A = this chain, B = another copy of it.
Amino acid sequence: MIFDPSIEEFFQKLGQPKKLKRGDSLFSMGEVPHYLYLVRTGLLGSNILAESGSELLVRLFAPGQLVGHRALLVDEKYHSNAIALQDSLVLSVEKELAVESLQKNSKFCFSVLKMLGKELAFTENRMMSLTEKDVTARVAEALIYLRELYPDYKWTRKEIAEFCASTAPTVIKVMAKLEEEGYISQKGREFHIIDREGLLQVCQCEP
């Protein structure tokens, strides 16, 4: 993820540090937003749970990423939960201060705008993948993305499943197939990407 100097500077100056332990919640669905956050270290994830009970890992936040900006801008309650997947450090700035700064400081505002643009592009692409591609392609895509987003994190099959809108058993079966075909290797709960190029082919939905 690309760090934006102007956003970093803003939080450096005005942000209050907040430590989160793995599993801690930053905010929950339905709450009213009071802060804008920036991830410093660690990893957060935002998920929505459907009426059916199944969860979807909507977005992941690595260091350098803003959290809570959408709800803050739209002036609505949070529609997803944000939890720490790892021990993390975030900086927080009060909503009023953040909004005020965005309105006054056009350089800062433009930086946030660009970041939001990237997220929208990413989300639209994901929507496309999730709706049009088969599980194999979705899992392959997820493996590459998740591995590269956070190389050291031990992704569980369930998390991978929630990210690609599938289920743990299915992810396991697909990963077994991908291993057999030489794209990845698995030892214990870890997995490694052996043939990134090949996997990318798989993402394009082979016949």
| A residues apposed to B, CB below 8 Å | 48, 50-52, 54, 56, 58-59, 69-74, 76, 79-80, 102-107, 109-110, 112-114, 116-121, 123-128, 130-133, 165, 204-205
Contacts and interface: CB of A to CB of B under 8 A. Distances in A.
Contact of A124 (B52, B80, B128): B80
A66 to B, nearest CB: 11
A58 B127 contact: yes
8 contacts: A51-B204, A52-B132, A58-B127, A102-B109, A105-B106, A113-B116, A116-B116, A123-B123
B76 A121 contact: yes
A69 B165 contact: no
A50 B123 contact: no
B205 A132 contact: no
A119 B114 CA distance: 14
Given A124-B58, A130-B127, A113 B109 contact: yes
A74 B123 CA distance: 13
B58 A114 contact: no
A46 to B, nearest CB: 9
Contacts of A56: 127-128, 131-132
Nearest to A166: B131
Contact of A132 (B54, B102, B121, B127): B54
Contacts of A74: 114, 117-118, 121
Contact of A73 (B50, B54, B58, B113): B113
